[in-house]
Chains A and B, each alone.
Chain A
Amino acid sequence: MRKSFLFISCEEAHHICDKRQYGEATGWERVKLGLRLSWCRITRAYSNRNNKLTEVMQKADVDCLKNDERTKLQKQFEEELAKHQ
């Protein structure tokens, strides 16, 4: 009982690690992840790669269309496409 309270599975650790990338892991989840990271090589490797991905995403500063912008673009284009077909 005590063990499950403090220890988390590898899958749960990955899940918390993902949430942490978006600032959505709670304090308690971060504690549990920290504990897992201290001894689990697999979680550590996953976490490092995940952090690196977040880092490159921030560095690249990529952008994309919002859904409504894409819908507007699609509508305009489809009208034009219909004229060509």
Chain B
Amino acid sequence: MPKHQLDPNNWIKLYSDYLFNYTISRVSDRVTAQDLVSETFLAGLKSMANFKGEASERTWLISILKRKIIDHYRKINSNKGKAEVRMNYNSDTDAEGDWLEERVADPFDKTAEDKLENSELGDAIYDCLEKLPDKQAEVFKMKTILGYDTETICNELEITASNLWVIIHRARTALADCMQKNWF
């Protein structure tokens, strides 16, 4: 009996935001990110028979998405001929040894490290968001992540402003509790 099973009927509800967040931080373009997420779900459907049940649904979908992102960059690079890398450090004998200094990592450039930490933080936030009731997660995402104003959310979800703030309060309290255990 496999540990995990696939239920594609819930994929969009459970994983679309998580996969989108994972993708947008790597491709920086909303439309491309949506396309890649969509392709991931479709590829998941087609290869359901290959799922062994050892990893969780989310991990399995992320592994498909990673390949999609790599393919996306391969395609861009082959289109634009950007994959070519040249290093001529050893051809100039007068400058022998200089390359070592040039190639040392810049200690003040912490971008990659910061990105990794932010990506882990993003994962921790999504892990906590998944534990919230649907309505709380939806309102919190609209208000906090998408930055919609109160009136827009109230109109879209047909709730009153007081309702919205009660939901936000519950969501923030639950999230802070969860993040306290996992991150703070």
Which residues of B come within 8 Å of A, CB atoms?
A: 8-9, 11-12, 16-17, 20-21, 24-25, 30, 34, 37-38, 41-42, 45, 48, 118, 121-122, 125-126, 141-146, 150, 156, 165, 168-169, 172, 175-176, 179-180, 183-184
Interface membership of A22, Cβ < 8 A: yes
Most buried by B among A53, A70, A72, A80: A53
Q: Which candidate, A2-10, A30-38, A55-63, is the interface stretch facing chain B?
A: A55-63
User: What CA separation (Å) do A19 and B161 show in the bound complex?
Assistant: 11
Interface membership of A28, Cβ < 8 A: no
Contact call B11/A56, Cβ cutoff below 8 A? no
> Which B residues are in CB contact (< 8 Å) with A62?
21, 122, 125-126, 145
> Which B residues are in CB contact (< 8 Å) with A18?
165, 168-169, 172
User: What CA separation (Å) do A65 and B21 show in the bound complex?
Assistant: 8
Could you name 24 residue pairs across A and B whose Cβ atoms are closer than 8 Å? Answer: A15-B165, A18-B168, A19-B165, A22-B143, A50-B176, A52-B176, A57-B144, A59-B118, A60-B118, A60-B122, A60-B125, A61-B122, A62-B126, A63-B20, A64-B141, A67-B142, A67-B156, A70-B12, A73-B12, A77-B42, A80-B45, A81-B9, A84-B8, A84-B48
